[in-house]
Structure 1
Amino acid sequence: MTENRPTVQDTDEQPPAAGGAPAGTDQELPAGDAPVPGPALDPLEEEGEVAADYLEELLDTADLDGDIDIEVRDGRTYLSVVAEGDDDDALSALVGEDGEVLEALQELVRLSVLAATGRRSRLVLDVGGHRARRADSLRELALEAVQKARETGASVHLDPLSAYERKIVHDVVAEHGLISESEGEGESRHIVVTAEPAR
């Protein structure tokens, strides 16, 4: 399994000895001097690294091969797991029917970030391109709702969606000048599209 993360190139330098001085030298750091820490990671980059480590262990445990891509955009971390050799069917067990397993796995990854950093994460996990395909179908669904609302003048109620999926639909509806609102609670929360033009 490979992971698309920055790597550190090997060098001929030896690691510091226990006393803090580079191995192979007789020098010792003065008492009280501590090594200067490297630059701190951006919080989103850090959660991406933590999440990728968690996913790498999970893939190894499940004996699955996959590449892990990390991307930070729009204030959120996105992780994608793609099968080596573009055989995304090999990862279908991590998606499940209608993405239920993927949703549960995403929550586990978010919990791993919380445990490691103490911060709640809004990262989005995709496996085998499932979310990308789902986003395309949601855009089509939103366009159909927009067209129906315009033609009938009536409100169009969509099936319940996750918060991430609702945002995709809201964005498409807004682009076409109509209003969409979320209604309901919990698993029943869904979008209503109205023909009233957006203000």
Structure 2
Amino acid sequence: MTEANQEPEVQSVKALEEEGDIAADYLEELLDIFDLDGDIDIDVRQGRAYVAISSEEGEGDLRLLSNPETVEALQELTRLAVQAKTQSFSRLILDVSGSRQARVDQLTKLVNRLVAKVQESGEPLAMKPMSSYERKIAHDLISEAGLVSESEGEGKERHIVIKPA
């Protein structure tokens, strides 16, 4: 690979790190407004800025923010703040007190149950609507189980249908 081919990738990582910095500044201000303590870590994973808020005292006050719906809403607000500064679309991922891993664990159990039902019945099965991030995780789990999945619907109604292979 030539240097010219590598440069866009490096710029992409730099742009993602910049997204993370902007997001961290925004989140730091929000934490200050609500008088919450939290450490903010920035990473780049799978082509996305990944921002995590944690606390040395365990969950503590952050449990107020670690509800999955609250994390999703806070993530969208943070993405909007980043987009306003960078003038480009953000696919930033926010995690509060390990809430993402807890959701992945919950989603894994659900997908495994539904995969077993599809394997047993041989009939397609629709899942409830979920975020694009969660759909990606579910698609990967379904594929690993040897089944096929498709996203259907629009907007907030977008969901996965699990089908036999």
The correspondence of residues 50-199 of structure 1 with structure 2, limited to 5 A, is: 50-86=22-58, 88-96=59-67, 99-195=68-164, 197=165
CA contact (8 A) 1:110 1:123 kept: yes
Kindly provide the CA deviation profile for residues 64-94 of structure 1, in whole angstroms up to 9, marking residues without a partner as x: 00011111011011111112221x1411222
Counterpart amino acid of residue 107 in structure 2: L
Aligned-residue sequence identity (percent) comes to 53
Q: Where does structure 1 differ by over 3 angstroms across 4 or more consecutive aligned residues?
A: none
Kindly provide the CA deviation profile for residues 72-118 of structure 1, in whole angstroms up to 9, marking residues without a partner as x: 011011111112221x141122234xx22221111111111112111
Residue 7 of structure 2 corresponds to which residue in structure 1?
A: none
Counterpart amino acid of residue 126 in structure 1: D
List gaps (5 residues or longer) in structure 2: 1-10
* More helix per residue: 2
List gaps (5 residues or longer) in structure 1: 1-39
Structural RMSD (CA): 1.5
CA contact (8 A) 1:102 1:127 kept: yes
Greater relative contact order (Cα < 8 A, sep 6+):
2
TM-score by length of 2: 0.87
Higher-Rg member (1/2): 1
CA contact (8 A) 1:89 1:128 kept: no
Taking the aligned partners of 1:111 and 1:187, their CA distance within structure 2 comes to 18
Q: State the aligned residue count.
A: 154
Q: How far 1:136 moved relative to its partner?
A: 0.8
TM-score by length of 1: 0.73
